[in-house]
Amino acid sequence: MFPIVAFVTYVFVSCITPGPNNMMCMANGAKHGVKKSMPFCVGVSVGFSGVLVLSILCNLFLYAYIPSIVQVVTYLGVAYIFYLAWVVFRDKPKAKKKHKITMDETSFFTAIVLQFVNPKAILFGMTLISSFVFPYDQSVGAFLMVLAFNFVVVILCCGCWVLFGSAFQGFFQKHRTVLNGVMALLLVYCGITLVL
């Protein structure tokens, strides 16, 4: 059996710390409230689980190529995080317009798709499976337990960020420019730490 305490600590710390998903959850909570933001949280959990499934299925093949894959994914991910920072920084209250096609930031499916370009999710999946699970237990039961535990932790952590954003909605509206700047800087920090 794999080291449970290290495994749980890694999953919890990785899921609760600020990252693209958590920043989006907080922004959604502030902008749309808890109820409208929950599909996004569930989508993040489902997408994270999909990344883990791919990590499990590809672990043996990828093991030999991890250094080169991590570097490429990291730089693509950093570019994506910087893009998210720019979007958050420029975010302004929008008047509702009919028939305008845009990305729905509260969508279940948007959240799933975003996980496959989220460097934190990809690096998390590769690290979790290759370091904490694969060397100790390669059984279907172990993989299912990892997937179930991860799903619950991710949805709970995303829910915490949504609640935080929703609770402070009035404050966020009043200080939107400053807070968007701070959130954008946090995203830039996330991106920079990936390449350092």
Return the pLDDT at 104. 61
More confident call, 26 vs 131: 26
Distance CA 144, CA 83 (A): 34
The percentage of residues in the chain with a pLDDT greater than 90, rounded to a whole number, is: 14
pLDDT score at 45: 93
Residues in Cβ contact with 177 at an 8 Å cutoff, skipping those fewer than 6 apart? none
Higher pLDDT, 3 or 42: 42
Asked if the model's pLDDT at residue 148 lies above 90, the reply is yes
Q: What is the pLDDT of residue 109?
A: 85
Each residue's pLDDT tens digit, 149-194: 999 999 998 898 888 887 776 776 677 788 778 777 876 776 676 6
Is pLDDT above 90 for 46? Answer: yes
Q: Helices H, strands E: what count in the chain?
A: 8, 0
Give mean pLDDT, residues 118-126: 81
Q: What span, in angstroms and rounded, lies between the C-alpha atoms of 183 and 122?
A: 22
What are the angstrom distances between the C-alpha of 183 and each of 79, 169, 190?
Answer: 16, 14, 11
